[in-house]
């Protein structure tokens, strides 16, 4: 913009110089008015361009700040996501351990139930044996003699 202003000022000076050398005084007034109107028009254009440039600069600054804020927010959210993913992974690992523990407990429970069943069966068998032996011991001795081989009718 400054370069344009300098060029326009040089052009004005050139035009003023040319107008003085060619025209008498009356035409130079018209030329001066024309040049002044051109200068005013160019000044207005320069002001307009400056406003637009300032507006664009402010817009760029605002956009830049919004972008920075968005990037900060994105980074924060990504960090939160990583934290939550780590928590989920830890919970999954804990759940796997708990499932394995539950499976082990179920296996141990079934084994214990089988052992209890086996021990109950052994206990019943032993109780029957004890009952048989008691009944043998409680029999009268005469019944025992009858069953003995010395009392058998086949003596030789």
Burial 78-110 (b: 16+ CB within 10 A, else e): eeeeeeeeeeeeeeeeeeeeeeeeeeeeeeeee
Q: pLDDT band at residue 155, thresholds of 50, 70 and 90?
A: very low
User: Does the pTM of the predicted model rise above 0.85?
Assistant: no
- Name 31's Cβ contacts closer than 8 Å, sequence gap at least 6: 15, 16, 19, 23
Whether residue 50 contacts residue 1, with contact meaning beta carbons closer than 8 Å, is answered with yes
pLDDT at 78 over 80: yes
Question: In this structure, what is the dihedral angle of CA atoms 142, 144, 147, 152, given to the nearest 10 degrees?
Answer: -50
The structure tokens listed for 62 are 């605002």
Taking the CA of residue 72 as centre, how many other CA atoms within 13 Å lie in the half-sphere pointing to its CB? 6
Three-state SS at 95:
helix
Helix pair angle (2-22, 25-138), 10° resolution: 170
Q: pLDDT band at residue 62, thresholds of 50, 70 and 90?
A: very high
pLDDT, one tens digit per residue, over 93-147 is 999 999 999 999 999 999 999 999 999 999 999 999 999 999 999 886 655 555 5
């Amino acid at each position: 913009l400054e370069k344009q202003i300098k060029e326009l000022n040089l052009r004005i000076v050139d035009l003023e110089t040319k107008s003085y050398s060619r025209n008498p005084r009356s035409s130079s007034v018209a030329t001066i008015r024309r040049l002044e109107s051109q200068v005013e028009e160019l000044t207005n254009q320069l002001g307009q361009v400056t406003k637009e440039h300032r507006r664009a600069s402010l817009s760029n600054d605002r956009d830049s700040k919004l972008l920075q804020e968005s990037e900060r927010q994105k980074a924060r959210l990504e960090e939160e996501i990583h934290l939550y993913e780590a928590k989920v992974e830890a919970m999954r690992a804990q759940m796997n351990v708990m499932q394995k523990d539950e499976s082990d407990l179920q296996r141990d429970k079934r084994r214990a139930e089988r052992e209890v069943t086996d021990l109950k069966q052994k206990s019943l068998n032993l109780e029957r044996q004890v009952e048989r032996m008691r009944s043998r011991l409680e029999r009268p001795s005469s019944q025992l003699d009858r069953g003995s081989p010395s009392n058998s009718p086949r003596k030789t």
